[in-house]
Amino acid sequence: MSIKRSGKPEGTRRFQRRARQEADKQALQARILETARREFARGSLETVSIQKIADALGYSKGTVLKYFPTKILLLLAVKERNLEEMADRLERVRARHSGGETRLRRVMETYIDYWIDNPDHFRSLYSMAGTVEDRRFPDGVYFGETEISRRGYGIFVTSIGEYLSELGVETTPMLAQRLATALLSAAHGVISLPLGTPTMKWPDIRGNGRLVLGNLIDAWSAKIEAARRTETWPKISISNFL
């Protein structure tokens, strides 16, 4: 009489246990990150502590430190998450539009809208608190050198390049970077002014953003049109925009 073995082989059960444990670890890490995201949005590097985050989670301080050994690393992870969410939104906007100029305008409008809707995330990501060394990972890489930082900035550089190409400009990486940086500087002024002066009643911040960026792009388009009459066309440089 043969006996049928019931259940799953021990090797399979061990694999499933490890898989569940790994999933649980990832879920807890995500919870820690989201809790820290909320805490840093309301506070700063100086006012938010690992203990405060642990208390909000209902876990020990040691549990949080197991996943994020220092407060700096946790803040950097929060910054990466905020930037990743913004970049994902901009990529979706880019995918919905085909024209270079239209795509550039929608990307910049969405960038401003995102931070207006999430001002605490803007404060966290672009906080001026701390030092340059507070923005460096253990492997020596600074936050501005990370993949997500390059990806975020690259969205604007690519959008500028497409806009210039659509107008017939023989563009260069340096020119696209200069113009992208100018647009970002203008956008940050629109966002930072009301955040830095919360007691002022600023009218229509979104509209102001569209006014500033729209007129800047219009002015560039006019200067590109004028450059068509120069001997160097279709090659132009930053001096054509000054």
Number of domains in the chain: 2
Residue 3 reports pLDDT greater than 50:
no
Residue 46 structural domain: 9-69
- Model confidence at 165, pLDDT cuts 50, 70, 90, reads very high
Q: Is the dihedral of CA 92, 94, 97, 102 positive or negative?
A: positive
Task: Please tell me whether residues 33 and 83 are part of one structural domain.
Answer: no
CATH number of the domain to which 131 belongs: 1.10.357.10
Percent of the chain exceeding pLDDT 90 equals 62
Residue 7 reports pLDDT greater than 60:
no
CATH number of the domain to which 13 belongs: 1.10.10.60
Give the pLDDT of residue 5: 46
Residue 60 neighbours by CB distance under 10 Å: 12
How many Cα atoms within 13 Å fall on the side-chain side of residue 150? 5
Task: Please tell me whether residues 93 and 116 are part of one structural domain.
Answer: yes
Give the pLDDT of residue 46: 79
- Comparing 34 with 15, the larger pLDDT belongs to 34
pLDDT, tens digit (0-9, with 9 covering 90-100), for 42-87: 777 778 899 999 999 999 999 999 999 988 888 888 889 889 999 9
- Comparing 155 with 37, the larger pLDDT belongs to 155
Task: Please tell me whether residues 203 and 95 are part of one structural domain.
Answer: yes
Lowest-confidence range among 7-16, 175-184, 231-240?
7-16
- Comparing 2 with 51, the larger pLDDT belongs to 51
Task: Please tell me whether residues 156 and 183 are part of one structural domain.
Answer: yes
Give the pLDDT of residue 143: 87
pLDDT, tens digit (0-9, with 9 covering 90-100), for 113-154: 999 998 888 887 887 666 777 777 878 888 889 999 999 999
pTM of structure: 0.84
Show the tokens assigned to 162.
Answer: 């497409």
Show the tokens assigned to 77.
Answer: 């992870």
